[in-house]
Amino acid sequence: MENYCLLTDATAELTPELAQELDVGVIPMPMDIDGVPYQFQFYNEKMTVSDFYNQLRAGKFAHTSQVNEAVYLEAFEQYLKDGKDIIYCCFSSGMSSTYEAACRCMEQLRTKYPERRLVCIDSLCASAGLGLLVFSAAERKKAGMSMEELGKWVLEHRQCVCHCFKVDELEHLRRGGRISAATAIVGSALQIKPILVVDTEGKLQPIAKARGRKRALAYLLDAVKKNLLDNEDSQTLFIGHADSLSEANELKDAVYRECPHVKRIIIVPLGPIIGAHVGPGMIDILFYGKDRMCHI
């Protein structure tokens, strides 16, 4: 069996337990809360899911940035020194320049380790959508798929990963410049929940508005029912939540009830890299589907 490793980054929302189960390395990503810097990899006792989102609820502002190239070089080199080749499945280039930074670092390391293979793949996915893609890739790696075959599989299937999510609080979209202040005020008063997807270019796109939490969750369920592929990969779904576990469980139960083809739903907390931009209460559902725009 080939000696290669599969890596991703903190935006994939993998828990420590899930990363260990999959044998996937997770590269930390930088952020700060009101100017206090953090390197986020996983939630832990120093920063729990509720700790982070309660700070946002209290009015603190979180800011994210791309991975420093020194962090990439250190993370990649520890595997290269052990004689391992690398596939890194990266956060979408449609939302970040981390892909370009990782490619530059790999080019440097190819000169130093000419006998090793380094592959950086732009996932065109984000959040737990990246997590789902990495999950499927890791399962294939465990089954003995070669590094070349796995890289090709990821490139061929990344566009099949559907991201459909509802945002609960509009203030964070306003801060990020995605909606105007007036829209945020009116939308909040009317309990408007925007529905967004990740498009074929790996960028966020609003596709609908739902009035109230129940209708927003119903839209997510309908998106799955309408678009879910009938194959082995689509038997596993991810649901991500921004400190809204009860809603995540409500959606999980509904999917199991309405989609008998689904065998496993993995619920993961959304980390601060994504959470900084969407705020508390966000719910996303990730699945292999026919239409990445999740039309219903």
Residue 95 burial (C-beta neighbours within 10 Å; 0-12, 13-18, 19+): buried
Show the domains of the chain with their CATH numbers.
Answer: 4-159 (3.40.50.10170), 160-288 (3.30.1180.10)
How many CA atoms lie within 13 Å of 142's alpha carbon, on the beta-carbon side?
11
Q: Which residues contact 159 (CB under 8 A, 6 or more apart)?
A: 124, 200, 292
The per-residue pLDDT for range 76-115, each reduced to its tens digit, is 999 999 999 999 999 999 989 999 999 999 999 999 999 9
Structure tokens at 172: 């964070």
Please report, to the nearest 10 degrees, the dihedral formed by the alpha carbons of residues 13, 9, 177, 179 taken in order.
Answer: -30
Predicted TM-score (pTM) of the model is 0.95
The per-residue pLDDT for range 15-31, each reduced to its tens digit, is 999 999 999 999 999 99
Give me the tens of pLDDT residue by residue for the chain, a chain 296 residues long. 689 999 999 999 999 999 999 999 999 999 999 999 999 999 999 899 999 999 999 989 898 888 999 999 999 999 999 999 999 999 999 989 999 999 999 999 999 999 999 999 999 999 999 999 999 999 999 999 999 999 999 999 999 999 999 988 766 555 655 444 334 333 443 467 889 899 999 998 889 989 889 999 999 999 999 999 999 999 999 999 999 999 999 999 999 999 999 999 999 999 999 898 888 999 999 999 999 999 98
